[in-house]
Structure 1
Amino acid sequence: MSFIIAIGSTNPAKTTAAQTICERAFPGCTLVPIEVPSGVPEQPIGPDQTSTGARNRARAALGAVEGARMGMGLEGGVDPDGSLINCVAVVEAGGRENLTWGVRFPLPPVAVARVLRGEELGPVMDQVSGRNESKKKLGAVGILTNGLFTRAEMWQGPLACALMPFLHPELYAAPATDEASGA
């Protein structure tokens, strides 16, 4: 039976990153992208909404794909301080979950002001940069670094780190109590 991983997104920047990391972590795995609700606003503001969206997407993806052993949720947000933030949640069918954060960087003040008034970052960045569908390609990070670091590349680090407890469950087991350890 194939190792099936469900990812709660069909966005190419997210699915490309997940495919790259999952193929390296679990050779021969099957990644199934699926559009699922995040349960948070289209543009999450702050770490709470961003992490909730990632967790909700991971759980929904796992539940929606028959035979999936793992669900992944990737959520980008904007912190009220003007930084882009991004979060990855991984949920295993057995119940284990892990949450990691990616890079954090300052967004242009003109974009922050519009996002904090309720607009979504992707379309705002398209308008201020003259690009189209940037959230599926370069993303804000790619636009602002002139392509030195793309949105798909940005997701790879937190995805890899989110897999740590699944790759080394023996190192992430519950710690022994003082009584059990003899201390």
Structure 2
Amino acid sequence: MFHTIAVGSTNPAKSSAVRALCERAFPGCRIVALEVPSGVSEQPIGAEQTAEGARNRARAALTAVEGAGLGFGLEGGVDEDGHLINCVAVVSADGRENQTWGVRFPLPPSVAARALKGEELGPVMDEVSGRSESKKSLGAVGILTNGLFTRADMWQGPVACALMPFLHPELYRAP
């Protein structure tokens, strides 16, 4: 069905989630991960900015990869209450779009305060945990759960749900 799928990020926590699910959904597909702009701040604040970043990444990825049938954008943000939020957008070459949300959990108050002031969450979590490049592996969720649930794990649920209308287009037609 979809032979080439573009992912608007080279972050392995994001691209591995898309790869794992799309290879199961569309055996033999090719996944192309590339950096594209989100069009929003480095640390998106609020659901609207987070969703916009995901949509922008999905559209840019689809446009950038010749022959891509699907484009994915994955964007993590912090809501106004200091919770981590994450959004997945997927767009198809024929113009269909879907958006889904993942987990929402409270960040430690000092971390949330820094993110809400504009600091990117990944480096803040690195500093408070003594790690480096955690956003490419454990992420905040992995650090705060002691590895029980990693950033790649966190992305798999919303990526799978974003695929629903593409796996069952007959059920998602407008009435």
Q: Which TM bucket (shorter chain)?
A: over 0.9
Aligned counterparts of 2:74 and 2:156: Cα–Cα separation in 1: 11
Aligned counterparts of 2:116 and 2:163: Cα–Cα separation in 1: 32
TM-score, L = length of structure 1: 0.94
After superposition, give the CA deviation of every residue in 1:69-94 in whole Å (9 maximum; x if it has no partner): 01000000000101000000000000
Superposed displacement of residue 120, structure 1: 0.3
TM-score, L = length of structure 2: 0.98
Aligned counterparts of 2:156 and 2:113: Cα–Cα separation in 1: 28
Aligned residues between the structures: 175
Give SS of 1:119's match: coil
The runs of 5 or more residues in structure 1 that have no matched partner are 176-183
Match of 1:130 in 2: 130
Match of 2:19 in 1: 19
Residue pairs, 1:78-157, within 5 angstroms: 78-157=78-157
Which AA in structure 2 matches 1:98?
N
Match of 1:64 in 2: 64
**Structure whose alpha-carbon radius of gyration is higher:** 1
Which AA in structure 2 matches 1:125?
M
Residues 141 and 151, structure 1, Cα contact 8 Å, conserved in 2: yes
Aligned counterparts of 1:131 and 1:144: Cα–Cα separation in 2: 12
Which AA in structure 1 matches 2:114?
R
After superposition, give the CA deviation of every residue in 1:97-123 in whole Å (9 maximum; x if it has no partner): 000000000000010111111100000
Aligned counterparts of 1:44 and 1:118: Cα–Cα separation in 2: 8
Superposed displacement of residue 148, structure 1: 0.2
Match of 2:169 in 1: 169
Match of 1:35 in 2: 35
Superposed displacement of residue 2, structure 1: 7.2
Which AA in structure 2 matches 1:166?
F
Aligned counterparts of 1:24 and 1:108: Cα–Cα separation in 2: 36
Which AA in structure 2 matches 1:129?
S
| Closer/same/farther in 2, CA of residues 97 and 2 from structure 1, 3 Å limit | closer
Aligned counterparts of 2:149 and 2:2: Cα–Cα separation in 1: 32
Give SS of 1:67's match: coil
| Closer/same/farther in 2, CA of residues 128 and 152 from structure 1, 3 Å limit | same
Q: Point out 4+ residue stretches in structure 1 off by more than 3 angstroms.
A: none
- When the two chains are superposed, the root-mean-square deviation of aligned CA atoms in Å is 1.0
| Closer/same/farther in 2, CA of residues 2 and 106 from structure 1, 3 Å limit | closer
